[in-house]
Amino acid sequence: MKKILLLIALPFVFIATLTAQITQIQADEVVMNRMSDETKPHNIFAKEAVQTDGFSVVTSTGETLELEYSCLVYYVKYNEETNGKYLIVKESNGNLLEVNTKNDTGPDDLILWRLLPPIDVPYTKYSLDGTSCQWVNLNSDESVIIINSDEELENYIHCTEGTYPEIDFSKHTLLLANGKSNSDIYEFIVKKLQLSLAGYELNVKIILGDEVVGEQWAIALVIKKIEKESSVELKVLTLFCEDELFYYFLNEKLFIGEYLLHDTLVVGYEKDVPKEEIKNYLLQTGLFKKILLFNSISNWVIAVTQEQYTCTQLKEIFTMLKQSNLITHANYIFRGNIGSYHLFFYLEEFFVYLKNENDLLILETLTQETNTKIIEEIDTNMYLVGVTKYSNGNALQMANYFHESGKFNWAHPSFWNLIQRNQIDSDSQELR
């Protein structure tokens, strides 16, 4: 059997990542970050547990690869059965060693290795807003069109004057996801674009409005250049506004949309702003008939609207209110039915419980990505995280996003328990 000492005989590259001993989860992050640059379909497999005595593997061609230091080992399998690569993360500092192999189908025991989640593919949204252009020649059936040149793009864009935003097709591809809904569309949300051995998968969420009318839709993303023949599967989740109103209790998904109040909301305001100024601002919008309750310590008010609004209309009111420099947030309120309590709601905070103390770096990274912030550690491995109106979502949305990432034990909104009925019988009371 031919033996190859990995550090000497094969081409490799070290990428400095961390400076202290790392965990399996952190090593996964190192590998996933490295593979985010790849455009060829692939799967990533991890050999379970740290190889404390080094690593040795026999390839399918009978060669042996050996390492003599403690490490975490990964294998990347491409569509081409005879090509792959090993990614080895040094446990002591997180340095990454990359070894490309040929005429090799992977380790003999690859079926026992752990399959990592698909890679998140970086993208930039492409918009025709602010131009005279619009999408044309779209499909009624949900599909993704791969566009790799201006000539191809001109088949799907019509401009009455001027031109469309430029794309460098020598380096990029435009993915044009499109379809048709049976109702008007309130919001498009790109959930994720991922790459695995099966190809690309684009997940889109569409929030429907209140009018029953068919509407053509299109979402365009610019990504790193891929082949015209690449496989891109489109998965569309169509929801009404209330369907988004849920949270996780441990791993159970609890829906609260049915408890939504359609004429009452909570509005947060900046510190040091007098109560009368907030009250006058809200009443002068013409949307509210009464301010029920002030909390001048935490700076929020409960306000009642002039009329009943749908969930979607309330979202539009939230957006309008947050344009004011006085307002920090605006959120739904829900009916409660616990003893003498009447209402419950969330403000600007949620809880995140780490899987272990070494995952604080993962939490810090995700808060940076979502424009949220760690407020404090309130218990062992439990953190309070805050949002602002500039975050990627409100406290409920961000708690769900952190939970669904799978990187933590759980994440949960910080609900305010609750307003007692006898506290909301008269106008503009101070919370007791």
Domains in the chain: boundaries: 3-117, 124-240, 245-432
Note the pLDDT of residue 357: 85
Mean pLDDT by 10 residues, the chain (432 residues): 35 44 86 89 89 80 81 88 85 89 82 90 92 91 94 94 92 94 82 90 88 82 94 91 91 91 94 92 94 87 93 93 95 74 87 91 93 96 96 95 93 81 46 38
Q: Residue 190, Cβ neighbours under 10 Å: how many?
A: 14
Nearest to 128 by CA among 107, 153, 151, 145: 153
Cα–chain center distance at 16: 27
360-370 and 24-35 helices cross at what angle (nearest 10)? 40
Q: Does pTM top 0.75 for this prediction?
A: no
pLDDT of 431 reads 40
Our measurement of the distance from residue 138's CA atom to the centroid of its chain's CA atoms, rounded to an integer in Å, reads: 27
Q: State how far the alpha carbon of 102 is from the alpha carbons of 57, 61, 78, 99, in Å.
A: 15, 9, 11, 10
Please report the pLDDT score of residue 372 as a whole number.
97
List C-alpha distances in Å: 96 to 24, 64, 90, 359, 382.
Answer: 13, 20, 6, 20, 31
CA 22 vs CA 26, 93, 113: distances in Å: 6, 7, 20
* CB-based contact 288:314 (threshold 8 Å): no
Distance in angstroms (rounded) separating the CA atoms of residues 386 and 331: 15
Give the per-residue pLDDT at 160.
Answer: 92
